[in-house]
Amino acid sequence: MPSNPMQRKTRNAFLLGVTVTLLVAGVVIVLLFLMLKQKNDQLVAEQAAKINVYTLTQDVKAGQILTEDMFSLQQVNRDTVPSNATATFEVIDSWFLQTKEGEPINTGKYGLYLDKGDTIIEVIENTGNQFEDSKGNKVATGDYYVDVNGTLEKVKTTEGVTQDENGMFFVDTQGNDQITRVYQENSTGEFYIYKLDTSTLNTGAKARVKQYIEIKNVPVLAKVNMNMNTVITPQFIVQSDEIITDDVRQQQYNMLVLPMDLMTNDYIDIRLMSPGGQDFIVVSKVQVDIPLNADGTYVTDTIRVNLREDEILSMSSAIVEAYGLAGSKLYVTKYVDPANQEAALPTYVPNASVTAQIQSNPNVVEIAKQELATRYTEAAKNLRNNYLQGLINNETNYFDNIKSSMDEEIGNSISTRQEYLESLNY
């Protein structure tokens, strides 16, 4: 049936509206699709840019001991991560390792090493991508190269290279390698380095032998204040000076004058001040633990410290002399920045009988004996005999007033510390 012009106009307007709506909807769908694709591509790119690294699980303060439970793996953008961040816990674990003599164990791209020269240079087979050495020589897969302190050089000839059951090596006679690589046996877990077997040199042969080394776990300190989620790297940590040797024991002292704000985990020196003002360092850079009362409050006048046998005997000698020498005091000083401050050198020399006991005591490890021998020089003995021993031998009533003043100072120190701890609700 023919329609009038009004009906045709209405129908055409409707069709035009539907068409426009479909076109707009189509454009919107296309735009949404493009936006979703762009967002998805962005997410994929962001995910590809993320890597797993170890970060801190809590805030830490400079000088605070770090423990392995403070680290966790977290995904972060690779562009924001230092090149020496790690996702391998063995690397973090190595931060807690020292030799028995106190040398820190370092970690590089080829594993653990010590900062001291080595004559044995590993010859490494390239099993990865081709690269160029420092002279521009191409090192392809299957080629051999050496790494001396991070400088890679292609091995052009195997002349002078020796092979044994542990691989290939050559002997560096120029002293170029400034590190000694440290290995760990899978079967025993023991650590070792390679040494040249000198008994084979006169035969023209070169053989390397394993030399096992004793490794200790040591505390690691934060160098700076760090917030939770900080990407942790070696630049932010330092190994503690506190090495746990076989003769270390926990000692408790309640006769020391303590700083008002001394807290658990602070690092201290223990010092002896004579009536004449001479000041001696008895024990250097030890970490403090403050015991608690039954109600959870801190004990005001007592600290615990871990000391070696020679340090225990030195403290015993200093305590006796401080009691016997009126006007003297044994007191504690805090390290301001323990993560970056080296331990002070002890200057107190025990009396001759205590020194003889230390030198003959089988419980004192060799490193402690050597340290004491270094400290007990002729100059130190003369200082002690001419000054400190002279004060002890010539003690008179002259020091009575000094003693009463010192007793008053010690009493005031205890009271002030008690008030400080109470203010902290301890």
For tokens 């394993």, the residue is 210
Alpha-carbon gap, residue 239 to 139, rounded angstroms = 37
Alpha-carbon gap, residue 194 to 197, rounded angstroms = 9
Alpha-carbon gap, residue 356 to 255, rounded angstroms = 25
Domain boundaries, the chain: 97-217, 249-423
Model confidence pLDDT, tens digit, residues 48-96 = 667 788 888 888 887 777 877 888 888 877 777 776 677 666 677 777 7
Task: Please tell me the pTM assigned to this model.
Answer: 0.50
User: What b/e string do you get for 318-342 counting C-beta neighbours within 10 Å, with b at 16 or more?
Assistant: bbebbeebbbbbbbbbebeebbeee
Model confidence pLDDT, tens digit, residues 191-238 = 899 888 776 555 556 788 888 988 877 777 787 788 888 888 777 777
**pLDDT greater at residue 370 or residue 76:** 76
Model confidence pLDDT, tens digit, residues 311-338 = 998 888 888 777 767 778 889 999 988 8
Cβ–Cβ < 8 Å for 258, 305: no
**Amino acid at site 153:** E
**Amino acid at site 208:** R
User: How many other C-beta atoms lie within 10 A of the C-beta of residue 355?
Assistant: 21
Specify the DSSP element, H or E, that contains 131.
strand 131-132
